[in-house]
Chains A and B, each alone.
Chain A
Amino acid sequence: NAGVTQTPKFQVLKTGQSMTLQCAQDMNHNSMYWYRQDPGMGLRLIYYSASEGTTDKGEVPNGYNVSRLNKREFSLRLESAAPSQTSVYFCASSMSQGSYGYTFGSGTRLTVV
Chain B
Amino acid sequence: AQSVTQLGSHVSVSEGALVLLRCNYSSSVPPYLFWYVQYPNQGLQLLLKYTSAATLVKGINGFEAEFKKSETSFHLTKPSAHMSDAAEYFCAVTIIQGAQKLVFGQGTRLTINP
Contacts and interface: CB of A to CB of B under 8 A. Distances in A.
A108 B99 CA distance: 24
B104 A42 contact: yes
A84 B92 CA distance: 25
Contact of A31 (B34, B96, B100): B100
Interface in B67-114: 90, 92, 96, 98-107
B32 A40 contact: no
A56 B102 contact: no
Contacts of B42: 106-107
A98 B44 contact: no
A105 B46 contact: no
A22 to B, nearest CB: 15
Nearest to B96: A97
A106 B32 CA distance: 24
A4 B44 CA distance: 11
A92 B105 CA distance: 17
B100 A104 contact: no
Contacts of A98: 96, 100
Contacts of A2: none
Interface of B: 6, 9, 32, 34, 36, 42-46, 49, 51-52, 90, 92, 96, 98-107
Given A42-B106, A92-B44, 8 more contacts: A40-B9, A42-B104, A43-B90, A48-B99, A56-B99, A97-B99, A104-B43, A104-B45
7 contacts: A40-B9, A45-B103, A48-B99, A58-B101, A98-B100, A101-B46, A104-B45
